Amino acid sequence: MRTTVYEFLVGFCVTAVLGVGLAIVIVWSKRFKNLSMPLFTFINSLPIIAIAPIILLWMGYGIKTNILIAFLVSFFPVIINTMTGLDSIEDDLLDLVRYLHASKLQIFLKIRIPNSLPYIFSGLKICSTMSIVGAIVGEFIASDRGLGYIIINSQYAMDTPPIFSALIVISLAGAALYWVVALFERLLMPWAFKSQKV
């Protein structure tokens, strides 16, 4: 169990940092955005389960392979949601702050990033559940331990209790990470929840 938890937590953290960071870089540079979007669309259309054996051939068995699969499964919801949030500023507001001589950096720090927080957390919530799915998929094909490995072995042995036990643990772990993300959302965006109560 510890192996699976480690894999999906590392996958989640790497996805969160790279997904949000890369989205900021892409939105910052329109040229980079025009070049990267076709590539992201192409990669996102690839079924990860189908290319997982190829990843296994390149990287071999081990935790790193499972972390990479968890990352690939959960990366695109984070980067797409973040980019959507960063781009969702009204043109009138942007024209106003530019008229007031706000720099590009100030616009990002004080307008774009705060405005994108709901989108970022939506992506992270999806990522919190998808990362564990990716880790389990990796363990199905590229591991000799972990909950995915237990499920596959128990399936071959027609032993259902370990399968149900593993599924329960997987569900609880995914739900726990989801609620941690939701807690940080409440801490960083208290105004959003106050407006919902009104």
Kindly list the structural domains of the chain, giving each domain's residue range(s) and its CATH number in brackets, ordered by start.
Answer: 2-197 (1.10.3720.10)
* Cα atoms in the 13 Å half-sphere on the side-chain side of 164: 4
CB 178 within 8 A of CB 186: no
Low-confidence stretches of the chain (pLDDT < 50) are 198
Query: Quick one: which of 192, 152, 149, 194 has its CA closest to 1?
Result: 149
Dihedral angle, C-alpha 167, 122, 67, 18, nearest 10 °: -170
Tell if the pTM clears 0.95, that is, is over it: no
- The CA-CA-CA angle for residues 48, 160, 62, to 5°, reads 40
Q: What is the pLDDT of residue 182?
A: 92
Query: Quick one: which of 149, 181, 185, 135 has its CA closest to 11?
Result: 135
DSSP-derived letter for residue 101 is: T
46: left (phi over 0), alpha (psi -120 to 50) or beta: beta
The residues, any chain, with a CB within 8 Å of residue 98's CB and separated by 6 or more, are 107
Q: What is the pLDDT of residue 79?
A: 92
- The CA-CA-CA angle for residues 37, 188, 82, to 5°, reads 5
Return d(Cα 194, Cα 17) in angstroms, integer.
28
Q: pLDDT tens-digit profile of 90-147?
A: 878 888 888 888 888 888 888 888 889 999 999 999 999 999 988 898 888 877 788 8
